[in-house]
A and B are shown apart, each in its own frame.
Chain A
Amino acid sequence: MEFTLFLVGLIAATLRVATPLIYGTLGELFSERSGVLNLGIEGTMFLGAFVGFAAASLSGSLWIGLLAAIIAGLLAGLLMALLSVRLGVNQHVAGLGITLLTTGLSLYAFRVIFGESKVPPSIESFPMLSILPETHILAPITNQYLLTFIGLALIPVVWWIINKTRFGLQIRAVGENPEAADAAGLNVYAIRTAALAIGGSLMAVGGAFLTMAQLGSFTFGIIAGRGWVCIALIIFANWKAVNVLWGALIFGGVQALQLRLQTLGFKLPYELFLSLPYVVTIIALTIAGRNSSAPSALLKPYRRE
């Protein structure tokens, strides 16, 4: 019985931890499948977390907050597109620049709006759904935030978009062989721009989940490298939407487990535990090596003569 409770709690926590990772990774999936590595993800998630929180706090509506976060992420994606697609600058540096910019802007705006109060401002966050009655043993698993369920549902949706729709076909084409796509009459710039914009919105929702559902407040360390975890996850998932689920659950599970064990009083060097996902990714990257399905045109700006 006690073990069942432990397990139920673990699964529930895993889903919660995995949610922002799922959004972020799906967002990055759009970008990378179209041929752009978006290292702006860390900052875009931070921006989403801040804008969602601030807009909800100012407007009093969580949904307006979420919408604002989506728009902010979209703009961050468009900025990345301007730099890396239109101007064709180095994607690494442009992405990191965007992370620095969006982080700086969020912090600046936070101070402007909320001042330097000692007590961190908070909002009434999204409630958990109550699908099963509280007393039911599985309630902690089923009674999650709506955003968690949407995130899980997005995985097959994204798979379907990429593999079964015209837009998805176009994304795959510009990510694999932009010259061919161009010759076929596709607008490479427009498709990559759209992919980055969608990607940015998803990343921002991932960030907004933390402030608007899980925590109800905004702290400076809120993203804490989750964006980089998503960069790792995408490699782990071999650029396939369905694998994002397994990756996010495994990574989420490791974190949830160490949190559980810690609260149960196990003396663990949890900080080292937290590094496990990164180490695993580096190993995965090493093993996968040349067999990976990384899009062929990843990191290559396209320019017609």
Chain B
Amino acid sequence: MTKYRIERAPAPGWMRILIPLLAIPVTFLLTSVIILLDGANPFTTYYHFLVSPLAGRVSAIEVFVKSTPLLLTGAAVAFAFKGGYWNIGAEGQLYAGAIAATFVGTVLLDVPPIIGIPAMVIGGFAGGLLWALPSAILKVKLGVDEVVTTLLMNSIVLNVTSFLLNGPWRNPVSMWPQSPEISAGTVFPQLIPRSRLHFGIIIAVIVILIIWFVISRTSFGLKMRAIGLSKEGARFAGIKVNKTMLIVALVSGGIAGLAGAGEVAGIHFHLIDAISDGLGYSGITIATLGGLHPLGVGISALFIGLIDTGAQTVSRVLGVPVYLGDVVQSTLLLVTLSLFVLQNFRIRRVN
């Protein structure tokens, strides 16, 4: 007679791909409970959630617009996690990038886009990098836990933003807490006329391709993967753990900063308090969902972008609160995390 046993052993590789796919129906099953509580039909809701946005041209484009910063924060978090650095601060680094980009955009007046756009990109990257710097230095020099420091840096940058918007950058005309507009030469060009889809998504795709190449093909990538999997093992093999981790942390911050620059230069054209509203935290969801693989991150960012867009459609069409998107997103994260535990088991046939 054949029996099956569950044992603790690494599951085959295809499980890694299957798990996120499995997580999606489980998530929708769980969240349909709260949809029912609101008196809506889960099937109709999920139709508008997942299909409607892709059916219309405008909303389909909007999915990509929403995905643009998510691709970058997802990439930032995945890159850091892959290298063993628990960067929880993408949210704050995004704000720092947005502040830096706003600064560039309001200082560089009358520049041609050929100068203005690269300046915004560099500025955004530098802003995120600088905001990631203190936590990274404290981590590698003094061993201070980066989770807590990056988290606290998020709170600090919110206060800094609010200080800037209520102080030096307060719009002198409207007195609204929003910065002056950035100059025309620093605005990211639209990719499709009369849509919000902008140059930022090209940056995002390039960034994803670069980090994919770096992680999988270069010696730096092998070093950071080794560190991410076993600091001790990496150190023993003569890899300079601290130096590598510092670079990983700073690049991760820079990438998150690019997301902020994109939101300023492509969407809002000035700095506002609510420039992110959780895009950095979504990056953690996306990185986890994508199994920390850059291409996986790409797909999950698009999926979360779809959920964000779908939540608005659902809200508009059915009157279901738009926060359903947040619930679905976070449930998906927790379900995926839980299902990843399955990776450590396999079913074996015993005779």
B323 sits at the interface (CB 8 A): yes
Q: Determine which of A94, A109, A112, A232 lies in contact with B337 in the assembled complex, contact meaning CB atoms within 8 Å.
A: A94
Given A93-B284, A275-B159, CB of A103 within 8 Å of CB of B148: no
B330 touches A285 (CB 8 A): no
B327 touches A281 (CB 8 A): no
A100 touches B326 (CB 8 A): yes
Question: With A and B bound together, what is the CA distance between A223 and B323 in angstroms?
Answer: 17
B347 sits at the interface (CB 8 A): no
Given A103-B326, A271-B166, A285-B149, CB of A97 within 8 Å of CB of B333: yes
Tell me the interface secondary structure of chain B in the complex.
helix
Chain B interface extent, by class = 35 or more
Query: Which A residues lie within 8 Å of B38 (CB)?
Result: 112
Query: Which B residues lie within 8 Å of A89 (CB)?
Result: 337-338, 340-341
A104 touches B323 (CB 8 A): yes
* 18 further interface pairs, Cβ-Cβ under 8 Å (given A112-B321, A231-B152): A39-B151, A83-B338, A89-B338, A94-B337, A97-B333, A97-B337, A100-B333, A101-B331, A103-B330, A105-B327, A107-B321, A108-B321, A225-B155, A271-B160, A271-B166, A275-B155, A282-B138, A289-B144
Query: Which A residues lie within 8 Å of B148 (CB)?
Result: 231-232, 235, 281, 285
Question: With A and B bound together, what is the CA distance between A88 and B134 in angstroms?
Answer: 30
Query: Which A residues lie within 8 Å of B88 (CB)?
Result: 39, 92, 96
Chain B window 78-114, contacts with chain A (Cβ cutoff 8 Å), 1 for yes, 0 for no:
0000000010100000000000000000000000000
In the assembled complex, the CB of A252 is this many whole angstroms from the nearest CB of chain B, namely 16
Chain B residue at smallest Cβ distance from A232: B152
A→B interface (CB under 8 Å)? 37, 39, 79, 83, 87-90, 92-94, 96-98, 100-101, 103-105, 107-109, 111-112, 225, 228-229, 231-232, 235, 269, 271-272, 274-275, 278-279, 281-282, 285-286, 289-290, 305
Query: Which A residues lie within 8 Å of B334 (CB)?
Result: 79, 83, 94, 97-98, 101
Query: Which A residues lie within 8 Å of B284 (CB)?
Result: 93, 96
Given A104-B329, A228-B152, A272-B163, CB of A282 within 8 Å of CB of B323: no
Question: With A and B bound together, what is the CA distance between A258 and B122 in angstroms?
Answer: 36
Query: Which B residues lie within 8 Å of A112 (CB)?
Result: 37-38, 321
Q: Determine which of B156, B167, B327 lies in contact with A104 in the assembled complex, contact meaning CB atoms within 8 Å.
A: B327
B288 sits at the interface (CB 8 A): yes
B34 sits at the interface (CB 8 A): yes
Query: Which A residues lie within 8 Å of B86 (CB)?
Result: 92
In the assembled complex, the CB of A31 is this many whole angstroms from the nearest CB of chain B, namely 14
A282 touches B281 (CB 8 A): no
Query: Which A residues lie within 8 Å of B1 (CB)?
Result: none
In the assembled complex, the CB of A93 is this many whole angstroms from the nearest CB of chain B, namely 6
Question: With A and B bound together, what is the CA distance between A299 and B72 in angstroms?
Answer: 28
Question: With A and B bound together, what is the CA distance between A272 and B159 in angstroms?
Answer: 6
Given A100-B330, A286-B142, CB of A271 within 8 Å of CB of B162: yes
B324 sits at the interface (CB 8 A): yes
In the assembled complex, the CB of A120 is this many whole angstroms from the nearest CB of chain B, namely 16
B326 touches A271 (CB 8 A): no
Question: With A and B bound together, what is the CA distance between A182 and B134 in angstroms?
Answer: 39
Q: Determine which of A111, A275, A285 lies in contact with B156 in the assembled complex, contact meaning CB atoms within 8 Å.
A: A275
B330 touches A278 (CB 8 A): no
A282 touches B158 (CB 8 A): no
In the assembled complex, the CB of A257 is this many whole angstroms from the nearest CB of chain B, namely 16
B147 touches A92 (CB 8 A): yes
Given A83-B337, A278-B155, CB of A104 within 8 Å of CB of B326: yes
Query: Which A residues lie within 8 Å of B147 (CB)?
Result: 37, 39, 92
B327 touches A282 (CB 8 A): no
A93 touches B338 (CB 8 A): no
B152 touches A282 (CB 8 A): yes
Given A87-B341, A88-B341, A97-B285, CB of A269 within 8 Å of CB of B163: yes
A101 touches B156 (CB 8 A): no
A105 touches B163 (CB 8 A): no
In the assembled complex, the CB of B34 is this many whole angstroms from the nearest CB of chain A, namely 6
Question: With A and B bound together, what is the CA distance between A26 and B21 in angstroms?
Answer: 39
Question: With A and B bound together, what is the CA distance between A268 and B153 in angstroms?
Answer: 21
In the assembled complex, the CB of B135 is this many whole angstroms from the nearest CB of chain A, namely 8
In the assembled complex, the CB of A282 is this many whole angstroms from the nearest CB of chain B, namely 5
Chain A residue at smallest Cβ distance from B341: A87
A282 touches B321 (CB 8 A): no
B321 touches A111 (CB 8 A): yes
A286 touches B337 (CB 8 A): no
Question: With A and B bound together, what is the CA distance between A148 and B323 in angstroms?
Answer: 32
Query: Which B residues lie within 8 Å of A289 (CB)?
Result: 142-144
In the assembled complex, the CB of A235 is this many whole angstroms from the nearest CB of chain B, namely 7
Given A100-B330, A272-B163, CB of A105 within 8 Å of CB of B337: no
In the assembled complex, the CB of A288 is this many whole angstroms from the nearest CB of chain B, namely 9
Question: With A and B bound together, what is the CA distance between A281 and B159 in angstroms?
Answer: 16
Question: With A and B bound together, what is the CA distance between A285 and B166 in angstroms?
Answer: 30
Selected A-B contacts with CB under 8 Å, 27 pairs: A79-B334, A83-B334, A90-B337, A92-B147, A94-B337, A96-B88, A96-B284, A98-B330, A100-B278, A100-B326, A101-B330, A104-B323, A104-B329, A225-B155, A228-B154, A228-B155, A231-B152, A232-B152, A269-B167, A271-B162, A275-B156, A278-B156, A282-B134, A282-B149, A282-B153, A289-B143, A289-B144
